Amino acid sequence: MRCVLVLLDTLRRNNLRCYNPETRVQTPNIDAFAAESCTFDEHWIGSAPCMPARRDIMCGRLNFLERGWGPIEPFDVTLPALLRDHGVYTHITTDHCHYMRTGGEGYLQLFNTWDYHRGQEGDPWVSRIDDPANMPGTFYGRVRRQYQLNRGRWPREEDMPSPQTFQSACEWLDDNADADDFFLMVEAFDPHEPFDVPERYMDLYGGGEGLDRDYFEIPQYKRVSEAEVPAEAVDYVQRRYDALVTCCDHWFGTLMDKLRERGIFDDTLVMLTTDHGYFLGERDFLGKNYMPLYNELAHLPLLVHYPGGARAGERASQITQNIDVMPTVLDLAGIPVPEEVQGVSLMSLATDPSAPTRDYALFGYHAMDVNITDGRYTYMRAPVPSNEPCFEYAAIPTTIRRYLGADRPADIECGRFLARTDWPVFKVPVDRPGIIDQSDDALKEVSDTRLFDLAVDYAQLDDLTSHDDPAAKEAEGRMVGLLLRAMDECDAPAEQYERLGLGGAA
């Protein structure tokens, strides 16, 4: 059993030609890979953003109903650990800096070996007391002093962290291509912001023209109108993102070339996907986290090259999520899927195009609205105005760059609150979503319940909850029933129903 999982952070589905033939983005290597793979058309986000999505992948179950951003818990049953226990060698190479921060503990250590390439975003790597000489004088969005220090260590494209990640994966394959049982995870932080990209890729999209300031690589997570970013700058940052996708495509191509060079591409399961999308000015939004999980964020790419080339060039219409990665790999390896895993294996689709997967995708950010799609409708259930009761459950009470409940420790309880484990956990009251850090009104954008019919309104412009007709009311009632069933099947804590104004569990 050989499996390679490639995760490109913040890869927008609409920028890939296999999903959007009209895109201007040049991705010849991903295009070629799609022609040799099965393209999944109904692949949806699970837990958002970065680390919650990774816990989904590692554990095969949804993170966001119980907690937000956080580490691997001591009671988690994980894909790398199960593979190791059954003699499958596991390795991850990555430049994803959040693994090294408070709130990212325990992920890399699951693997037999891991390789980390430094410098992305605010990675505290290059140590200088004085400010860097390359700080821009004028800019839109944000500038990270630490990143400006770090980027001075990359005189060439191949020295940058994501290219280093792909080169490291190629070197690992050179050393281990003759092995029969391995799981290789290749996780690039790009095309996540900062949209730092060599000029040769920017030249494909008009170069640096059109920006009236020195720098725009890190958008603020705000509405375009609130951030006071003009249309010319929005166009510029869109081109930077597109250029970075093309850069990622180039290095993804080196990995695929290496698999072919070593003669193992044909019989290896290779999956390419992402954790979430991103807004680059659409709907007046920049960034992620604070707005509803519209399709720009929630509808994701998934390309699967099955061993032997099964389903090459075909498309799958079944609903899938990243929680399906774990059972798929376990199925390939002949390892029983643990009962607590909520995902389903996609291996049956290699031989049966009509094989069932699931009839819904449940997704969201912790402590915000809860969303569900059946492939036809997307229902976004807003919390009650108080957003209470709301708790996070954790045995390791860390979250992004801080500790859970540090502002109100006297209100934290400890007990056996999770039915699937005997481990005691902290029950931490939540005043506001932990991933909202650039807004004084954390729930402003998700205070309304929404319903969209994707068959006629993929752009999600016509909210059916505002319609006073029987068909819309019937659709909403059906989606409420599906949401209740899904929350029950996915072990939602009891207070989630009350927080969403849904009464008791199904």
Please check whether residues 193 and 325 belong to one and the same domain. Answer: yes
| Claim to verify: residue 44 and residue 173 sit in the same structural domain | yes
Answer with the one of 299, 328, 359 that is the final residue of a domain: 359
What's the token pair of residue 128? Answer: 């200088």
Q: How far apart are CA 460 and CA 451, in angstroms?
A: 8
pTM of the model: 0.97
CATH code: domain of residue 177: 3.40.720.10
Tell me whether residue 109 is in a domain: yes
Residues with Cβ within 8 Å of residue 262, at least 6 apart in sequence? 173, 174, 177
Q: Which residues sit opposite 480 in a β-bridge?
A: none
Same domain, 351 and 376: no
Q: By residue range, what is the domain housing residue 479? A: 362-499
Domain's final residue, options 359, 382, 409: 359
Find out whether 181 and 1 touch, Cβ atoms under 8 Å: yes
* Total tally of structural domains belonging to the chain: 2
Give residue 195's region: left, alpha or beta (phi > 0; psi -120 to 50): beta
Is 504 a domain residue? no
Same domain, 404 and 315: no
Same domain, 49 and 198: yes
Shared domain check, 427 and 288:
no
Same domain, 346 and 422: no
Per-residue pLDDT tens for 356-379? 999 999 999 999 999 999 999 999
Three-class SS state of 460: coil
Out of 337, 359, 381, a domain closes at: 359
Band of pLDDT at residue 350, cut at 50, 70 and 90: very high
- The answer on 377 and 311 residing in a single domain is no
Sequence-distant (≥ 6) Cβ neighbours of residue 415 within 8 angstroms: 424, 425, 427
Dihedral angle sign, alpha carbons of residues 429, 431, 432, 435: negative
Q: In 3D, which of 143, 84, 150, 146 has the Cα closest to residue 117? A: 150
pLDDT in tens, 153-181: 999 999 999 999 999 999 999 999 999 99
Does 159 share its domain with 180? Answer: yes
pLDDT of 6 higher than 70:
yes
Q: Which tens digits make up the pLDDT trace of 120-150? A: 999 999 999 999 999 999 999 999 999 999 9
pLDDT band for position 437 (cuts 50, 70, 90): confident
